[in-house]
């Protein structure tokens, strides 16, 4: 078989670099003899050092039955002495212009071998330092950790997504009994020509007395519109472009251990709306077709005794909230949204977790199409495009079995999950037979060992197709 010429220089360079730089040399030392290995020059040295004039490693092995001494000198002064026992091999840093001696003892003849090896220079020292900082163990586990990293994600909504993230995780006052707080900044661009900037945070104060939980987002995000209700067509009827702004904040105070109560604020604006594609059977949404601005204020009650929100292993989470939007506060529409989100996490055995979630979103009044309850996405009802089904109300639940990590691995794990959900509203009532199923599996990799945070790749299957999701942190 003839290789293409382009490969020949590569093969030659591999062959040349694989040739040993020096041959190992064997010696015998008579009783009490000292032998110069290298340092005086040609004709006096017992060995040839191919790295003369630069630092290298000297590898000395005791091949005999008695110990001897390694001695290194520079300009007549001894800089190193080491005793090497029978069968022992020792590697020392041998600097330029130094002299290397082997000193025998008076007992008997001794055997030795000497070799020299180069000091390999790192091709990408900054990259290695960065990866060690990001993936390695911290010297102080209680210290805050700031990590900047490129991201690559995939979901049905975006296809391939390229971005840059900054993640800051810490415990208040460096006290590991406080819950893990996280602040994340993220900017992205996708194959669907979507781009934006996100800033999310979940911050606990000392003793977990205050919990500030929110998100801010600005993005240009063309979205597929399938219509409203559970009977919406399987193919999208419009591709709607626009600029989307979101500010959602919860400021909650602990009133009982792990029980929080406080104010919630929600601002959402969809502007510069354009319809890039529509089908012949397209029916425009009755409310918000050309965009809208809505501001809501409400109250929230939250029970949360989970220590690590990015990887819950045991605990209970339940949030109940309502948000009122009306024109007196500057909203274009008048409506009220009620949310119920309950999750439970139970360890089954070592490194395994059973997780379950029941979620409901219910809307009263006249909500624009972009603020209806949306089914799908990377967290709940994986496998469905976010907004594939939308209506005033959504009921969904999911269970997941996680192995974090496998018993035979320190970093790799896996998960299995099942979910079901449905949307309904004014024109479509709740139907016990109307739940849509989805399920799948995923692999996990422990990316931040000190914080117990995994990255995940999930594959989910529905009646309409499948979805692949690649994110940091568990889905719920």
Quick one: 142 and 280 in the same domain? yes
> Does residue 394 fall inside a structural domain?
yes
> Does residue 163 fall inside a structural domain?
yes
CB atoms within 10 A of CB 463: 10
Quick one: 113 and 129 in the same domain? no
Whole-angstrom distance, CA of residue 106 vs CA of residue 255: 82
> What's the pLDDT score for residue 372?
97
Quick one: 129 and 110 in the same domain? no
Residue 438, pLDDT > 90, answer yes
> What's the pLDDT score for residue 8?
34
Give residue 134's pLDDT band: very low, low, confident or very high (50, 70, 90): low
Percent of the chain with pLDDT over 90: 67
Quick one: 107 and 231 in the same domain? no
Quick one: 185 and 283 in the same domain? yes
> Does residue 342 fall inside a structural domain?
yes
Quick one: 113 and 130 in the same domain? no
Indicate the burial class of 392 (C-beta count within 10 angstroms; 0-12, 13-18, 19 or more): buried
> What's the pLDDT score for residue 4?
32
Quick one: 130 and 98 in the same domain? no
> What's the pLDDT score for residue 142?
79
Domain-ending residue, one of 117, 137, 153: 117
Quick one: 398 and 382 in the same domain? yes
> What's the pLDDT score for residue 15?
37
Whole-angstrom distance, CA of residue 401 vs CA of residue 346: 10
pLDDT, one tens digit per residue, over 370-386 is 999 999 999 999 999 99
CB atoms within 10 A of CB 469: 22
pLDDT, one tens digit per residue, over 298-338 is 999 999 999 888 899 999 999 999 999 999 999 999 999 99
Domain-ending residue, one of 117, 144, 178: 117
> What's the pLDDT score for residue 14?
37
Q: Are strands 436-448 and 453-462 parallel, antiparallel or unpaired?
A: antiparallel
pLDDT, one tens digit per residue, over 213-256 is 999 999 998 889 999 999 999 899 999 999 999 999 999 999 99
> What's the pLDDT score for residue 181?
92
Q: What average pLDDT score do residues 354-371 get?
A: 97
Give residue 136's pLDDT band: very low, low, confident or very high (50, 70, 90): low
Quick one: 190 and 301 in the same domain? yes
> Does residue 10 fall inside a structural domain?
no
Range of the domain at 37: 21-117
pLDDT, one tens digit per residue, over 3-43 is 333 333 333 333 333 344 455 688 888 888 999 999 998 88
> Does residue 2 fall inside a structural domain?
no
Look over the chain and give the mean of its residue pLDDT values, rounded to a whole number.
89
Residue 449, pLDDT > 90, answer no
Quick one: 83 and 136 in the same domain? no
> What's the pLDDT score for residue 148?
84
> What's the pLDDT score for residue 42?
85
Quick one: 93 and 138 in the same domain? no
Residue 154, pLDDT > 80, answer no
Whole-angstrom distance, CA of residue 181 vs CA of residue 213: 10
> Does residue 173 fall inside a structural domain?
yes
> What's the pLDDT score for residue 24?
67
CATH number of the domain that residue 160 is part of: 2.40.160.50
What pTM did the predictor assign?
A: 0.69
**Phi-psi map region of 286: left, alpha, beta (phi>0 left; psi -120 to 50 alpha):** alpha
CATH number of the domain that residue 70 is part of: 2.60.120.10
> Does residue 3 fall inside a structural domain?
no
Q: What average pLDDT score do residues 338-353 get?
A: 96
Number of compact structural domains in the chain:
2
Domain-ending residue, one of 117, 151, 172: 117
- CA-wise closest residue to 95 among 121, 132, 58: 58
Quick one: 207 and 87 in the same domain? no
Q: 341 and 356 in contact (C-beta within 8 Å)? A: no
Whole-angstrom distance, CA of residue 436 vs CA of residue 231: 12
> Does residue 12 fall inside a structural domain?
no
């Amino acid at each position: 078989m003839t290789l293409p010429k382009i490969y020949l220089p590569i093969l030659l360079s591999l062959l040349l670099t694989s040739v040993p730089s020096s041959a190992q040399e064997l010696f015998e030392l008579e009783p009490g003899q000292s032998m110069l290995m290298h340092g005086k020059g040609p004709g006096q040295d017992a060995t040839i050092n191919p790295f003369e004039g630069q630092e290298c490693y000297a590898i000395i092995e005791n091949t005999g039955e008695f110990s001897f001494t390694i001695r290194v000198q520079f300009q007549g002064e001894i800089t190193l002495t080491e005793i090497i026992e029978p069968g022992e091999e020792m590697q020392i840093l041998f600097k330029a212009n130094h002299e290397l001696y082997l000193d025998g003892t008076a007992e008997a003849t001794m055997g030795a071998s000497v070799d020299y090896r180069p000091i390999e220079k790192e091709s990408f020292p900054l990259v290695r330092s960065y990866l060690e900082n990001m993936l390695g163990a911290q010297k102080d586990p209680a210290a805050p950790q700031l990590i900047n990293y490129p991201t690559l994600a995939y979901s049905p909504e975006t296809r391939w997504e390229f971005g840059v993230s900054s993640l800051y995780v810490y415990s208040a006052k460096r006290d590991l009994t406080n819950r893990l707080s996280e602040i994340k900044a993220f900017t992205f661009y996708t194959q669907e020509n979507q781009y934006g900037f996100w800033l999310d945070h979940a911050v606990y104060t000392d003793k977990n007395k205050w919990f500030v939980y929110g998100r801010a987002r600005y993005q240009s995000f063309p979205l597929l519109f399938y219509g409203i209700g559970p009977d919406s067509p399987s193919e999208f009827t419009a591709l709607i472009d626009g600029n989307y702004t979101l500010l959602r904040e919860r400021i909650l105070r602990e009133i009982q251990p792990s029980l929080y109560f406080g104010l919630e604020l929600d601002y959402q604006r969809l502007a510069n709306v354009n319809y890039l594609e529509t089908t012949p059977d397209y029916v425009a949404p009755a409310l918000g077709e050309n965009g809208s601005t809505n501001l809501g204020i409400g109250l929230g009650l939250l029970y949360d005794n989970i220590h690590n929100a990015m990887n819950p292993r045991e605990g209970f989470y339940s949030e109940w909230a309502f948000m009122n939007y009306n024109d007196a506060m500057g909203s274009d529409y008048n409506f009220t949204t009620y949310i119920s989100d309950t999750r439970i996490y139970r360890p089954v055995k070592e490194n395994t977790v059973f997780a379950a979630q029941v979620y409901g979103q219910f809307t009263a009044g006249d909500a624009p199409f972009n603020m209806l309850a949306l089914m799908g996405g990377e967290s709940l009802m994986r496998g469905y495009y976010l907004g594939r089904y939308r209506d005033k109300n959504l009921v969904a639940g999911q269970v997941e079995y996680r192995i974090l990590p496998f018993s035979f691995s320190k970093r790799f794990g896996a998960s299995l999950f099942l979910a079901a959900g449905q949307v309904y509203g004014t024109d479509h009532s709740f139907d016990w037979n109307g739940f849509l199923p989805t399920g799948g599996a995923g692999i996990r990799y422990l990316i931040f060992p000190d914080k117990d945070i995994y990255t995940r790749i999930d594959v989910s299957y529905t009646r309409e197709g499948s979805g692949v999701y690649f994110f940091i942190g568990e889905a719920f």
